[in-house]
Amino acid sequence: MAQIHPKTTPIYQTSVFTFEDLNDLELYFDQPDHKYMYTRYGNPNSDELADEVNSLEGGAGAVATSSGMSAILTAVLTYCQSGDHLLCAEEIYGGSAALLSQELTRMGVAVSYVPGEKLYSLAEYVQPNTKLLLAETMSNPLLQVVDLQRLASETKRAGIKLLIDNTFATPVITKPLHLGVDMVIHSVTKYLSGHSDVTAGAVVAAKAEDIERSKQIMRVYGLNLSPFESWLAARGLKTLNVRMKQHCFNALAVAEYLYSHPKVEQVWYPGLAQHPQHKLAKGQGSGMFGGMLSFRIEDDLDTVNTFMRALKHIPFAPSLAGVSSSISHPLRTSHRSLSAEQQQKLGITLGVIRLSVGIEETVDLLADLAQALDKV
């Protein structure tokens, strides 16, 4: 048979790999990075995805996981065990907060939340058993931008690790590891795969020993990603750069339109000059501001429902970062597990709508938003 040299990596849709004999098996245990045994431990497709994400982030290694949530769990357990304490930025994805407060506390890991204005002065929050701080490059859903270099300096001063969720920014916009961050996580489900057809995550570390610990957690907890979804995500990753440019271009145009609309009460987008971290976002993001924004219309159920139903091409879909635009409602989806007091403190009210801006023609997006707002 002629040698086969595929341009695209084949799908290794197998749960187990074979060995010639016991000597061959021993080679696996001696050099596990050069052979495969069981897909939960490793597979060429998941390794390809991890390698590509690691290359983009500029890390010392990466591991692919079954979801963004499993990436967060893997990363936290890399540094924390029962009896430890971790810090988390107060404005964080609701699923992350639920994992920390509802599940990790049951495992003996204590959690404290730090308001945004206190992130760069952690002395009153750090305890002797504090191990890390978790924050987002751009917060979900109100797009507050963290000064990663400043935060990295503060966590190093405090003697704790810094874990950053870079899902909203992607390494096309910001590379946290280059700014002193210890570990980065992604919901690969979102921009990295980009087509709303994969559920996956990734963990990238600045130090090789940290990612080796992450890989061990992935294997033992069974947090691995399947070969097919790894292949799909790696395929989507090939167009990340060009997709992000269009996401950013469209989002800025949409944000400017919404900011000037009389029925829109507030817009959160780092690309607007009025955003409190606009200058920081511009420098930290190489002039790009991402494809996510949030805006508020009247805090009235009928008003929100009327707007949602009036949209013809932008569906209400509680996720984000696909090539097609979609809206979500943080109060009733991503942040519904928070108490009413927490929601109010963060400013997540009934009229807040999160918009994931896709790569469609800009004029078509603006037209759909215009006609929907006309009906409010």
Structure confidence at residue 147 (pLDDT): 98
Task: Give the full edge-to-edge strand order of the sheet including 161-165.
Answer: 61-65, 201-205, 183-187, 161-165, 130-136, 85-89, 110-114
Q: Which of 36, 79, 93, 269 is catalytic?
A: 93
Q: How confident is the model at residue 307 (pLDDT cuts 50, 70, 90)?
A: very high
Res 3: pLDDT = 77
Catalytic residue selected from 28, 35, 38, 40: 40
Residue 342 pLDDT > 90, yes or no?
Answer: no
CA distance 200 to 109: 25
Write down all domains in the chain, each with its CATH number in brackets.
22-237 (3.40.640.10), 240-374 (3.90.1150.10)
Closest C-alpha among 290, 202, 188, 184 to residue 232:
188
Asked whether the CA dihedral 134, 333, 357, 199 is positive or negative, the reply is positive
Residue 257's closest CA among 364, 375, 138, 329? Answer: 364
- What is the percent of the chain where pLDDT is above 90? 89
CB atoms within 10 A of CB 25: 13
How would you class 307 by CB atoms within 10 Å of its CB: exposed for 0-12, middle for 13-18, buried for 19 or more? buried
Q: Which of 36, 79, 131, 165 is catalytic?
A: 165
Position 219, amino acid: R
For residue 1, the model assigns a pLDDT of 60
* Mean pLDDT of the chain, nearest integer: 95
- Write down the pLDDT at residue 9: 93
Q: Kindly indicate the confidence band of residue 89, based on its pLDDT and cuts at 50, 70 and 90.
A: very high
Task: Name the band, by pLDDT with cuts 50, 70 and 90, for residue 345.
Answer: confident
Active-site annotation holder among 131, 161, 175, 190: 190
Q: Which of 164, 174, 98 is nearest to 134 (CA)?
A: 164
Q: Find the angle CA(71)-CA(141)-CA(57) to the nearest 5 degrees.
A: 40
In this prediction, residues 87-113 reach a mean pLDDT of: 95
Mark whether 93 is an active-site residue.
yes
219 is a catalytic site residue: no
Q: How long a stretch of residues is the chain?
A: 376
Which tokens hold the place of 331? 């109060």
Q: Which residues sit opposite 111 in a β-bridge?
A: 86
- The SS3 of residue 290 is coil
Give the residues across from 183 on adjacent strands.
163, 205
CA 122 vs CA 79, 116, 206, 209: distances in Å:
18, 11, 22, 26
pLDDT of res. 83: 98
As a whole number of angstroms, the distance between CA 234 and CA 51 comes to 10
Residues 195, 323: contact at Cβ < 8 Å? yes
Q: How confident is the model at residue 107 (pLDDT cuts 50, 70, 90)?
A: very high
The average pLDDT across 137-152 equals 96
For the entire predicted model, the pTM comes to 0.95
Inter-helix orientation angle 362-374/301-310, to 10°? 140
Per-residue pLDDT tens for 55-71? Answer: 999 999 999 999 999 99
pLDDT value of residue 155: 98
Active site residue 24: no
